[in-house]
Structure formats: structure tokens, C-alpha cells
Amino acid sequence: MKNTFKNKTILVTGGAGSIGSEIVRKLIKHKPKQIRILDIRETELVDMQRGLNSHQDINFFIGDVRDKERLNLAMKNVDIVFHTAALKHVPACEYNPFEAVKTNVGGTQNVIDTALANNVEKVINISTDKVTNTINTMGATKLLAERLITSANNYKGTKRTVFSSVRFGNVLNSRGSMIELFRTQLKKKEPLTVTCPEMTRFIMSIPQAVNLVLKTAELSKGGEIFILKMPVFKLDDLIKTLIEELSPKYGIEPKNVKIKEIGLRAGEKMYEDLMTEEEARSTIETEHYLIIQPEINISHFKKQKNKYKKTQKKRYSSKQSKILSKEELKEILYKAKIFN
């Protein structure tokens, strides 16, 4: 993987976020020529700049992916783009749908256009399980972003740019995640607001998510969607584990923590999918990854039938997957340093 990034100029959109900032920290170890971080959040950028001030090859840009002219300037002489900028909160997108369209769809098209204009080598788009069998605005906009990324491989002409996506599950301890919310509520000795205890979700740590992104940059040929094989947890088990492990740290008896069930939020699902039955027909797999190959005809793309086996999965859903036991979940949470 070192050769993929060594001496390359790399742009990370949304680079001050949970995933973007970790991508930057991992990339530093691979000795790129330069890393450019583009984000609209001034305070987070400044904080990040202070933390990385010993690295002279990192540049910080205040800018929005909605602003094509600004994005084009940031894209000059870039080799690889990691596109993490997005509106990601389901209820926020549900109540502000066209804002989600402007960022998640328009912003992604701007990334495509400016990458082609600057003959970028690779663009890796960060997507989500919310796109699969979606029922909400966030998922719909991110699904369209995925389709834009895949189809860009088909109309790029003689440009060298390769476009691919990755799909994430729930990323542990990412900014604005449910764990962050529950920890805050425990600290304030407030009831934990739970949507539905029987809800299930795919789970991955921030390092796992970033490793998937970097591996995708290494393996992608253009048009694929990469998915990490990941475990599934039940919300009720997560809540009980957090109460048991975190309450004593805040001087609270676990038995005294109250839980308030509030029901599903706008656009929320009981279960999540990472791959549909239709997608499974064109999906191959490795020991750790599922790779959905493009269904549209991309002239340069050669399906990797011989190198990897065709998946035997008919669908990849948190409803049909084995659920982690409480002890297994606790072990994952400890490894992710959730209780520190």
C-alpha cells in the first residue's frame, strides 16, 4: 500500500471530520508528497492544523464541495482524492432535503468534474449502508452519489481517472454517533433516549473504516463498490453494555440509569442492508471484503472473475446476519477504546 500513496499529492474533502481526519493521519505514514485538507468547518480545521503543525507537507483549505471553483483550485496537480464530505445525519437530511441534494449529489458531481479537469489518478467516494433499499433522503442522495461515481468511469474519455466507492456501516465513536450521544446523556445523568431496542446495525471502528478506504484506493479498477464484512449488533445490547461500563466512571449506579424509548426517527429503519439481492449477482468477495462490480457497461473494466470467487450471499442485511453476543460486543468496544 505504501507505493500507492508515496510521493503522491492527495486531497481529502471533509478532511476535518472523524473519517477524513483519520485518513489524513494514516496517509502521513505512507510518505505522500502533499496532503490537502478541504473542509467548510473553520474551527475544526484550525484545531487539526494545530495538532499537525509539525508536518510541513499538509495544507488546509476552507471550502465547500458545493463551490466548484474553489474545489477546482484545491484539485490542481492532485493524484488521489478521498471524497468524505457529505451531510450524513438521517433526520437532518429528512428535514432539509434539498440541502442534502446540493452537498451529497451536487458536491459529488463537482468532485467528478474537477477531478476529470485536472486528470486525477483516483477518486474514492465514501458511501453508507443507508443507500441500500433506502427509505430516506440521506440514503437517496448518497445512492445517487454512488451512481454518479460509477458512471463517471463510462464518460471520462481518455482521462486516466478511476472512480470507485466504499460503503460503511455504523462507525464506532464517529462524530455525532449514537455512542457520543449516550455518553453525553450519561455524563449529564439524563435518561438515555433509545429509538427501538430491537434495532440492529452493522458495526465498524474508525481504523477499520479508514483501512477499507485506503485498501480501495489500492485495489480499485473503476466503478466498484467495496464493502467490509462486518459484525452486527442489537441496540439493546449496546445500551446495556454502555450503562454497565460507563456509568461507574460518572459516579452513577447502573441500575439507576433510566432509558426512554422514543421510537424511530424520521427516515430511520429497523435494519440496514449493505448489499441487495440484485447487487449480489455481480458481487465477488475476498476474505475480508465484498466487491460489487459495476452493472453498467464500462468499456475498460474487466470483471475479476478468476482472481476472486463470486459471493454466495444472496443479500447482506443486519436482519439476517448473526448478532454479536453482549460479550463479543463488549470486546469490540474495548478494542475501539470506547470506555477510555
Angle (CA) 180 169 314, round 5°: 155
In whole angstroms, how far apart are CA 265 and each of 163, 195, 305? 33, 7, 41
Residue 189 lies inside a defined structural domain of this protein: no
Q: Report, as an integer, the average pLDDT of 152-181.
A: 92
Tell me, what's the pLDDT at 300? 62
| Closest C-alpha to 290, from 165, 161, 174 | 165
Q: Report, as an integer, the average pLDDT of 283-312.
A: 81
Tell me, what's the pLDDT at 301? 65
Q: Does residue 305 register a pLDDT over 60? A: no
Q: Report, as an integer, the average pLDDT of 265-272.
A: 92
Summarised one tens digit per residue, pLDDT across range 89-140 is 999 999 999 999 999 999 999 999 999 999 999 999 999 999 999 999 999 9
Residue 38 lies inside a defined structural domain of this protein: yes
Q: Does residue 249 register a pLDDT over 80? A: yes
Residue 179 lies inside a defined structural domain of this protein: no
CATH number at residue 114: 3.40.50.720
The grid coordinates listed for 204 are 465498524
| Closest C-alpha to 298, from 207, 163, 115 | 163
Tell me, what's the pLDDT at 306? 55
Q: Report, as an integer, the average pLDDT of 126-155.
A: 96
Residue 245 lies inside a defined structural domain of this protein: no
Summarised one tens digit per residue, pLDDT across range 82-101 is 999 999 999 999 999 999 99
Residue 86 lies inside a defined structural domain of this protein: yes
pLDDT tier, 287 (very low <50, low <70, confident <90, very high otherwise): very high
Q: Where are the alpha helices (DSSP H) in 220-340?
A: 235-246, 277-280, 326-335
H or E element, residue 205? none
| Closest C-alpha to 191, from 201, 178, 182 | 182
pLDDT tier, 299 (very low <50, low <70, confident <90, very high otherwise): low
Tell me, what's the pLDDT at 286? 93
Show the domain range for 36: 2-169+204-229+276-314
Tell me, what's the pLDDT at 3? 84
Residue 186 lies inside a defined structural domain of this protein: no
Tell me, what's the pLDDT at 240? 96
Residue 150 lies inside a defined structural domain of this protein: yes
Interatomic CA distance for residues 271 and 288, integer angstroms: 22
Q: Which residues are catalytic?
A: 130
Q: Does residue 2 register a pLDDT over 80? A: no
Q: 13 exposed, middle or buried (CB, 10 Å; 0-12, 13-18, 19+)?
A: buried
Residue 301 lies inside a defined structural domain of this protein: yes
Summarised one tens digit per residue, pLDDT across range 324-339 is 999 999 999 999 999 9
pLDDT tier, 214 (very low <50, low <70, confident <90, very high otherwise): very high
In whole angstroms, how far apart are CA 29 and each of 5, 6, 9, 25? 10, 9, 14, 7
Q: What's the number of domains the chain is made of?
A: 1
Q: Find all residues with CB under 8 Å of 8, minimum gap 6, and list them.
A: 32, 33, 79, 80, 121
Rg over CA atoms, the chain: 20
Q: Does residue 61 register a pLDDT over 60? A: yes
Interatomic CA distance for residues 204 and 173, integer angstroms: 10
Q: Does residue 142 register a pLDDT over 90? A: yes
| Closest C-alpha to 204, from 240, 236, 179, 237 | 179
Residue whose grid cell is 453482549:
326
Q: Where are the alpha helices (DSSP H) in the chain?
A: 2-5, 18-28, 42-51, 68-74, 90-95, 97-100, 107-117, 137-155, 178-187, 206-219, 235-246, 277-280, 326-335
